[in-house]
Structure 1
Amino acid sequence: MNSRKRLGVAAAAGVAGALAVALAVQPATAGEPEAEAVGLHIENGRLVESTGNDFVMRGANHAHAWYTGQLGSLADIKALGANTVRVVLSSGHQWERTTPDQVAQIVSECKANRLICVLEVHDTTGYGEQSAAVSLDAAADYWVSVLDQLRGEEDHIIVNIGNEPFGNTGYEAWSADTQAAIGKLRSAGFEHTIMVDAPNWGQDWSGTMRADAQEVYDSDPTGNTIFSIHMYGVYNTAAAVRDYLGSFVDAGLPILVGEFGHNHSDGDPDEDAIMATAEELDLGYLGWSWSGNSSDVGYLDMSVNFDPNQLTEWGDRFFNGPNGVAETSEEATIYN
């Protein structure tokens, strides 16, 4: 593992305690009183734990909504070195609804395996272009319905409101709809860090999220929103990867790569550049996906039939290759 800009490991106990107190206070928006940070939160454009430790996500996506019997995959992903898993849920609009009991079980399994868990509603995928997709507002309603299962888990859970919430039609509404969904969750009592995906099937080729990110970030009264870009065929050069991620870093806005692969139907993403740039900039990345992809994109499976002993070429590169999970992942200090 590499040594990041971290707090606490080499500090004496008294210094660590003082730092924890100092960093437990969230910077307030200009003109507003400071509020005490709850769990994972954003500080100076970075995702940090309640301990004050900088947290860089390294992990895989897991298609739970379509394979509810494969929850044991979380332990397998952890065993390969991941510190985070992004779990597919369904609001019930396109696929069978992930029930409150199932949500509680997922949270419990994440904690048992010492993972940070990003939970996402997948039914929003391609809204405006995909006829069956639903709005971010509908996804927000689902989150409100499972708040009881997530309340108190702010140290362990990030709420990804909706996967790829616009296709290539109607994406101009992304900013307003995203702000409204964030507002609905905050009004309902969510204190978790909220993750928002880019439009254009997550790839933001239009630059919509890039242009409106500051406005969306400022709309969150807690300041705890992180942006997620999905990198497939649009990001087929190191320059494209660097330009996009660097623009958020330069603006002091939090971002991660919420999905990416080594190949895709829309082109050949530069996975080496994605992983190297994320590592260089200390940004999170979550690869797509552990197993269970449909036959047309089966090449994105990291394991064969959910078997951790049968990693695919993509899976082996992702977990064990240069700048991969095994080399760069560090477990959340909340589990220490």
Structure 2
Amino acid sequence: MRVRPPAFPRAAGLVAAVLGLLLPLLVLTTPAHAAPSGFRVQNGRLLEASGNDFVMRGVNHAHTWYADRISSLAHIKAKGANTVRVVLSSGDRWTRNDTADVANVVAQCKQNRLICVLEVHDTTGYGEQSGAVTLSRAADYWIGVQSALAGQEDHVIVNIGNEPHGNTGYTAWTADTKAAIQKLRDAGFDHTLMVDAPNWGQDWAFTMRDNAASVFAADPDANTVFSIHMYGVFDTAAEISDYLGRFVSAKLPIVIGEFGHNHSDGNPDEDTILAVTRQLGLGYLGWSWSGNGGGVEYLDMVTDFDPARLTSWGERIFDGADGIAATSEEAAVYGSGSGGDTTPPTAPGAPSASAVTASSARLTWGAATDANGVTGYDVVRISGGAESVVTSTADTSATVTGLTAATSYTFAVYARDAAGNRSPRSATVTVTTSSGGTTGACAIAYRVTNEWPGGFQGEVTVRNTGGSAVNGWTLTWSFPADQRITNMWGGTPAQSGSEVSVASAPYTASIPASGSVVVGFTASRTGTNPSPTAFALNGAACAVA
């Protein structure tokens, strides 16, 4: 967060977000590494030592400025959070949080059954903010308090440095981040590491987004999570969905380390942030519990650290739709609801497939058993030995969507109990999708939202006019030969000559009956800009509005 408590000035304003052509992420290649002893990253997901998929639901707490408010951790837990991100100082800009204090913070997190994300705030806006320090300096601080963190790998995530570059010199972020990760690994840190984006955390220049794969590959433990801060730069649904969707598609672990409902640099779209993180199964940590100053006091979730005085922002993030109370699950390391149960469920029965289409398949399996009860099942897609969770459910069946036509997939199922223990996997089933198919009725609304010499921006609204949901889709149309899509959000484009094919993104794959989704794009052109006149959804012609 850019804003300090009342005694500290705000940082300089952010450069406006640059919308235009977005370079694709490099696809992740996981290096060989030893299995970490605590949290670990696997196939773009953050897992606990037990193998439980952990999704952060929590808030930030400004401990270094309000060290006497350590009781806030209990209050944050009582609101339903499973994680707290704790502000610390290396002593370069504020009073140093020494080893004893860090050990106490960790103990308080554990006592309150919270996962502890610890961050050094002195790096904020380096290169632009006076007094800010380097990531290398932050790594030195972590090495200095290492004894407080040793053995806490299953309770603590180390966020190396907050918003480590401002808007000056931010291109150094990649090299600086790789070097800081290596320094900590060389010092014996086995923890999951979290790294913040540059540009005051908002990555408007896409430095983190476009270099995340190489940074991840540079971690010898392959155990780094990326953190984006969403304020005024992320004021539209398209920007939020596109940014997060690219990480998910590349199997790169991403969380929203900070966000608010308003900010001095613009109005972030908090409703989309909450909805899309739920849809994609991504973690978020709102800013912040209490104590904001410098003109952004509206970011306090409670007034004067009083848990009984929720602000409108606090009500939204804790009790609103897709908020913490509705979506948070306690970390399995605390043995949620089981009295310390460590026995996993039995393996589910072998899955079978039905209702296989070009883009989806229905899987059904036999129930697992557990002395304390099975709470849910994870359906995983297996490819070359690697596994990726594609959906989770409390039932013994699920529809897997977003598949590619005429492609073979192998699936298995795991069961979970209340303590987060994960069963052995079921026997596998292989599904081959059909080469094409039809859906219910559909209608398309196409419009050009902006244009300029040599290019334009467009929007396609896909409406399901049938009586049942569409689960996974491909939309096709024809462009004049001189029109080429250069970027898209809401779907993944492919273009051969004038023929355009768009596969649904994970967060747009389901279109309920009478519902709709929107795909946006930018494109180049050399001539006139006529609108397409014919569209097909999963091979079926659609009405064009």
Provide TM-score, normalisation by structure 2: 0.56
Question: Match of 1:204, as an amino acid?
Answer: D
Cα distance in 1 for partners of 2:93, 2:261 equals 27
Structure 1 position 268, deviation (Å): 0.1
Structure 2: state its 5+ residue gaps: 1-28, 336-545
Determine the structure 2 residue equivalent to 1:36: 35
Shift of 1:151: 0.4
For residue 255 of structure 2, what is the aligned residue in structure 1?
A: 256
Matched, 1:202 2:197: no
Match of 2:70 in 1: 71
Deviation at 1:131, TM superposition (A): 1.5
Give me the whole-angstrom Cα distance separating, in 2, the residues matched to 1:239 and 1:291: 30
> 1:216 — aligned with what?
215
Cα distance in structure 1, aligned partners of 2:30 and 2:278: 29
CA distance in 2: counterparts of 1:279 and 1:240, whole angstroms: 16
Q: Secondary structure at the match of 1:286?
A: strand
1:69 deviation in Å? Answer: 0.2
**2-side partners of 1:239 and 1:29: how far apart?**
29
Q: Which moved more, 1:292-301 or 1:83-92?
A: 292-301
Contact in 1 for aligned 2:36/2:190 (Cα 8 Å): no
Q: Confirm whether residue 184 of structure 1 aligns to residue 183 of structure 2.
A: yes
Q: 1:36 Cα shift?
A: 2.8
The correspondence of residues 1-336 of structure 1 with structure 2, limited to 5 A, is: 29-30=30-31, 32=32, 35-336=34-335
Counterpart CA distance in 1 for 2:223 and 2:51 is 14
Q: Aligned partners of 2:43, 2:176: CA distance in 1, in Å?
A: 25
**In structure 2, C-alpha distance between the alignment counterparts of 1:166 and 1:134, rounded to whole Å:** 9
d(CA) in 1 for partners of 2:127, 2:287: 23
Structure having greater relative contact order (Cα 8 Å, sep ≥ 6):
1
2:317 aligns to what SS in structure 1?
helix
Q: Find the aligned partners of 2:44 and 2:58 in 1 and give their Cα distance.
A: 21
CA offset digits 1:153-177 (Å, max 9, x no partner):
0000000000000000000000000
3-state SS, counterpart of residue 85 of structure 1: strand
Asked if the contact 2:80/2:328 (under 8 Å) is kept, the reply is yes
* SS of residue in 2 equivalent to 1:305: helix
Aligned partner of residue 59 in structure 2, secondary structure: strand
* Structure with more of its chain in strand, by fraction: 2
For residue 35 of structure 1, report the CA deviation from its aligned partner: 1.8
TM-score normalized by structure 1? 0.90
CA shift, 1:232, in A, is 0.2
> RMSD across aligned C-alpha pairs, in angstroms?
0.9
Residue in 1 that maps onto 2:6? none
Cα distance in 2 for residues equivalent to 1:70 and 1:99: 17
How far apart, in 2, do the equivalents of 1:75 and 1:37 lie?
29
1:37, distance to aligned residue in structure 2 (A): 2.6
Distance 2:317 2:61 in 1: 14
Amino acid at match of 1:146: V
Looking at structure 2, the residues matched to 145 and 95 of structure 1 have their Cα atoms a distance apart, in angstroms, of 16
Amino acid at match of 1:300: L
1:120 aligned counterpart, secondary structure: strand
Q: Which amino acid aligns with 2:117?
A: V
Amino acid paired to 1:243: D
CA offsets, 1:29-75, max 9 Å, x none?
Answer: 55x4x523310110111000000000000000000000000000000
Q: 2:461 matched to which residue of 1?
A: none
SS, match of residue 309 in structure 1: coil
Equivalent residue letter for 2:134: S
The 10-residue stretch of structure 1 (35-44 or 184-193) with the greater mean CA deviation from structure 2 = 35-44
Q: Secondary structure at the match of 1:117?
A: strand
Q: Tell which structure's C-alpha radius of gyration is larger.
A: 2
Residues of 1 paired with 2:254 and 2:324: CA distance?
18
Q: After TM superposition, where is structure 1 displaced by more than 6 Å over at least 4 residues in a row?
A: none
Task: Give the distance between the partners of 1:97 and 1:163, measured in 2 at CA.
Answer: 15
Q: Distance in 2 between matches of 1:297 and 1:129?
A: 20
In the TM superposition, residue 295 of structure 1 has moved relative to its aligned partner by 4.0
d(CA) in 2 for partners of 1:147, 1:248: 30
Name the CA distance, whole Å, in 1 between partners of 2:94 and 2:36.
Answer: 35
Tell me the distance in 2 between the aligned counterparts of 1:228 and 1:219: 17
Amino acid across the alignment from 2:271: D
Distance between the aligned counterparts of 1:71 and 1:223, measured in 2? 33
